[in-house]
């Protein structure tokens, strides 16, 4: 049924915003939206490296929620831009705790999609007593099979034209390890080489995240500053497998027992296919898994957005 699908709430301006020094030379941009004293929530963006956007606020009823949104290390308006120093999953988990204390809340709802789902799970497993509910989209667990899907085989079968563009940036003798080859390009000293690689990396991801082609979204993904942050930080995390052991987030799912949760997963998500969501559901039986039959990866696709807003509405009560 598609007639009664929910859409974004009106996009409100933040009632507070600022920058917080989290150490290691990093400063994070943050904003709080909605109603002060409303249900506390934190929004964890994807990428890593993508940053927050105004429309992300619209996934929460501003009359009932008090939401903290922030740009993770090196992303968006956080500084230094695209920096890889002291930028790991566990640095970000610590940052979330610092921000929770800054907000003066004991517990909050944690909402994350794509890489944000990974970070949400890592945070919730490290601090289960601080999480009231979890809302997750496009599950990514950093399994080797998920990395291979994106950078060895799988998505390349669906987007062979885009794949050829993606690998063309790398010399033929280095294509056995595309993540490693791109890492060398994205961390080199030659700005033109770095930018060319960043645009190619970001374009490849952009092709896989929409159910139907979206030129405006691809243009945004490949804009110079955005592409550099996405590509450098994302590649850095992929090269280090998210600083997670194989299967760690599935094994740690037992720590989520008692935390209500909803997963919204596009059936035709070619960036983070449904297998990971299904495995997480098996490891965490209490979570509600909603597979959207006409959904891809992005939060703003109609069926996916409907599921996310229904989840935030439910937990607002």
Catalytic residues: 114, 269, 297
| CB count in 10 Å sphere of residue 188 | 12
Residue pair 53/75 in contact (Cβ under 8 Å)? The answer is no
Tokens of 193: 């080489």
Residue of 35, 74, 77 lying closest to 57 (CA atoms): 35
**Length of the chain counted residue by residue:** 317
Strand residues in 156-287 grouped as ranges (E): 261-266
Residue pair 69/17 in contact (Cβ under 8 Å)? The answer is no
Q: Which residue has 């490891």 as its token pair?
A: 283
CA distance 3 to 100: 38
CA distance 256 to 248: 13
């Amino acid at each position: 049924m598609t007639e009664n699908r929910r859409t974004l709430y009106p996009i409100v301006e933040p009632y507070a915003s600022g920058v917080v020094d989290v150490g290691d030379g990093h400063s994070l941009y943050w904003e709080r939206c909605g109603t002060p004293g409303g249900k506390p929530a934190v929004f964890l963006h994807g990428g890593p490296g993508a940053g927050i956007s105004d429309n992300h606020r619209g996934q929460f009823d501003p009359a009932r929620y008090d939401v903290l949104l922030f740009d993770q290390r090196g992303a968006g308006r956080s500084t230094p831009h695209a920096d890889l120093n002291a930028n790991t999953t566990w640095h970000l988990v610590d940052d979330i705790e610092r921000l929770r204390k800054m907000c003066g809340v004991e517990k909050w709802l944690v909402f994350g999609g794509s890489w944000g789902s990974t970070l949400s799970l890592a945070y919730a497993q490290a601090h289960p007593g601080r999480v009231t509910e979890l809302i997750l989209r496009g599950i990514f667990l950093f399994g080797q099979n998920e990395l291979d899907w994106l950078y060895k085989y799988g998505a390349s079968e669906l987007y062979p034209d885009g794949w050829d563009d993606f690998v063309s940036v790398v010399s033929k003798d280095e294509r056995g390890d595309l993540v490693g080859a791109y890492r060398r390009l994205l961390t080199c000293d030659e700005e033109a080489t770095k930018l060319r690689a960043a645009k190619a990396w970001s374009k490849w991801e952009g092709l896989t995240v929409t159910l139907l082609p979206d030129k405006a979204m691809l243009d945004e993904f490949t804009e110079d500053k955005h592409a550099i942050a996405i590509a450098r930080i994302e590649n850095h995390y992929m090269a280090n497998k998210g600083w997670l052991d194989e299967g760690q987030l599935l094994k740690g799912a037992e720590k989520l027992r008692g935390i209500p949760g909803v997963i919204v997963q596009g059936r035709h998500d070619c960036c983070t296919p449904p297998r990971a969501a299904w495995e997480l559901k098996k490891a965490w039986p209490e979570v509600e898994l909603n597979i959207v039959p006409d959904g891809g990866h992005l939060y703003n696709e109609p069926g996916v957005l409907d599921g996310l807003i229904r989840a935030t509405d439910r937990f607002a009560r």
